[in-house]
């Protein structure tokens, strides 16, 4: 009874902190502008199935894709055993499902097969986890050791990988000790091989190890769920809605600004202008200066970023030594969004200007924004269909149209396009003379 009460208290606390963490993420995403992305549901469902569930884009790089598949499948499959742990925790019984079917040979064999399969998958998860640690700390893969990952980001990745190893240790210590206490009765695959480790142990000591494994497994899973909203591993959940709500236009498509389209239509037909009803109309904003100027999808992109760095590794600007890193764009957007969210929470739901913005102020620099060639390489590479380019374009629009912040070369090009209808300093009448 004491264990049941403790189990309920632990789950209740975890549920409270989970609700608090995930609600914060949802509220922060809702700070973005509205954007309708509900068209073509069949195509969106197909994208989600292939990319989020099927890991389609991961396999452009086979080795990490296979390792990631081990962890991905293992994460899903191992939760089956968690179902029994929850039932045992609520009832106070031990392996209640097994004992419910132990006299039905077919169901008992199926139960043993499921647990054995989970253990076999867990071995692959262990291999994948060790390889990922080695890629970060031994092989030091360049895209996993760039400046934007120093500090918390690389610690975050390491914490999760070490927690995964701890979880596997709990699973195997629980099952193996349980097998040893019952003289191999269950017949689990991997635990059967490990059972000799407990030769000579007393029943009491073996039972302690089994209980430590059981509680460790439960605590690790609950801790992971609580930790998830503060980690880049939130992509485990957000990859599904993020791919579903991804934009369906061709990658080269750049959306017009509604504010500009409206002004052009009014210039062509002034009579269509509505009568002024507000003596102090709200100023029109062009582009985005801060996170609240971006759409909710841009903000979901930021929270969905896996920090894998494939976008940065493919970025021609970054490859040639420019300061731009698409991954950093997403990380900076998320960090600024978190800062704004904390400020709103501290001020009872009210946003008070702090004199900062997403551009400069320790976040995204003008130099980074100007380095982008809008080639879409980052969008093409992202395994969860994030678009750093969309954020870059909106920030650049704000710089040019609100701040008049553009290089002299750009200003000259803009003037030529306005006067000559082309980027070059030739009048339209002289275009046929270019070859003279």
Q: Are 122 and 190 in contact (CB under 8 A)?
A: yes
Average pLDDT, the chain: 91
Is 143 among the domain residues? yes
Question: Within a 13 Å sphere around the CA of 193, how many CA atoms are in the beta-carbon half?
Answer: 7
For the chain, helix, strand, coil in percent to 5 are: 70, 0, 30
d(CA 260, CA 266): 10
Q: How many Cβ atoms are within 10 Å of 402's Cβ, its own excluded?
A: 15
pLDDT band at 275 (very low <50, low <70, confident <90, very high): low
Instruction: Check residues 414 and 177 and name the one with the higher pLDDT.
Output: 177
350 with 209, same domain: the answer is no
pLDDT band at 280 (very low <50, low <70, confident <90, very high): low
Q: How many Cβ atoms are within 10 Å of 318's Cβ, its own excluded?
A: 25
193, 218, 244 — which closes off a domain? 244
Q: Are 293 and 286 in contact (CB under 8 A)?
A: no
Three-state DSSP class for residue 33? strand
Q: What is the number of domains present in the chain?
A: 2
Per-residue pLDDT, 155:
94
Is 52 among the domain residues? no
416 with 331, same domain: the answer is yes
309 with 196, same domain: the answer is no
209, 244, 279 — which closes off a domain? 244
Is 39 among the domain residues? no
- pTM, 2 dp: 0.90
Per-residue pLDDT, 279:
59
pLDDT band at 290 (very low <50, low <70, confident <90, very high): very high
The enclosing domain of 372 has a CATH number of 1.10.1060
* Residue 187: domain span: 2-30+61-244
Per-residue pLDDT, 303:
97
Q: Cα 328 to chain center, whole Å?
A: 14
Examine the pLDDT at 267 and tell me if it is beyond 90. no
Examine the pLDDT at 329 and tell me if it is beyond 80. yes
Each residue's pLDDT tens digit, 179-210: 999 888 888 989 999 999 998 899 999 999 99
Q: Are 62 and 333 in contact (CB under 8 A)?
A: no
Closest CA to 188 of 114, 121, 116, 119: 116
d(CA 37, CA 73): 29
Is 252 among the domain residues? no
Within 138-250, where are the H helices? 152-181, 189-194, 203-227, 235-244
Is 49 among the domain residues? no
Is 187 among the domain residues? yes
């Amino acid at each position: 009874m004491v264990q049941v009460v403790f189990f309920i208290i632990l789950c209740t606390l975890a549920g409270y902190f989970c609700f608090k963490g995930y609600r914060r993420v949802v509220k922060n995403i809702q700070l973005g502008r509205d954007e309708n992305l509900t068209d073509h549901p069949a195509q969106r469902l197909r994208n989600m199935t292939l990319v989020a569930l099927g890991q389609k884009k991961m396999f452009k790089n086979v080795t990490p894709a296979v390792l990631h598949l081990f962890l991905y499948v293992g994460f899903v499959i191992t939760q089956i055993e968690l179902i029994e742990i929850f039932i045992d925790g609520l009832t106070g019984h031990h392996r209640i499902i097994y004992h419910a079917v132990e006299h039905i040979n077919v169901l008992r064999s199926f139960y043993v097969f499921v647990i054995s399969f989970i253990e076999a998958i867990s071995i692959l998860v262990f291999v994948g986890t060790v390889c990922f640690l080695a890629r970060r700390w031994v092989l030091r893969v360049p895209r996993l050791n760039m400046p934007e990952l120093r500090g918390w980001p690389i610690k975050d990745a390491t914490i999760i990988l070490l927690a995964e190893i701890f979880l596997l240790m709990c699973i195997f210590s629980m099952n193996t000790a349980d097998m040893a206490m019952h003289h191999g009765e269950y017949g689990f695959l991997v635990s059967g091989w490990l059972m000799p480790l407990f030769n000579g142990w007393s029943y009491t000591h073996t039972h302690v190890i089994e209980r430590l494994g059981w509680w460790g497994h439960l605590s690790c899973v609950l801790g992971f769920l609580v930790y998830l909203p503060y980690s880049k591993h939130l992509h485990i959940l957000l990859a599904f809605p993020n791919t579903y709500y991804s934009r369906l236009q061709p990658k080269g498509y750049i959306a017009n600004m509604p504010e500009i389209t409206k002004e052009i239509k009014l210039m062509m037909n002034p009579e269509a202008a509505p009568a002024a009803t507000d003596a102090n109309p709200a100023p029109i904003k062009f582009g985005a200066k801060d996170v609240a100027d971006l759409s909710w999808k841009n903000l979901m992109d930021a929270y969905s970023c896996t920090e894998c760095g494939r976008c940065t590794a493919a970025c021609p600007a970054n490859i040639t030594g420019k300061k731009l890193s698409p991954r950093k764009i997403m990380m900076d957007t998320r960090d600024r969004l978190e800062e704004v969210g904390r400020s709103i929470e501290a001020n009872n739901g009210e946003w008070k200007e702090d004199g900062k913005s997403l551009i400069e102020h320790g976040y995204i620099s003008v130099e980074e924004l100007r380095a982008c060639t809008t080639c879409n390489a980052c969008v093409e590479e992202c395994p969860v269909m994030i678009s750093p380019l969309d954020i870059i374009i909106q920030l650049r629009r704000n710089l040019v149209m609100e701040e008049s912040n553009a290089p002299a070369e750009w200003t000259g090009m803009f003037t030529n396009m306005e006067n000559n209808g082309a980027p070059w300093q030739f009048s339209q009448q002289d275009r046929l003379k270019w070859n003279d």
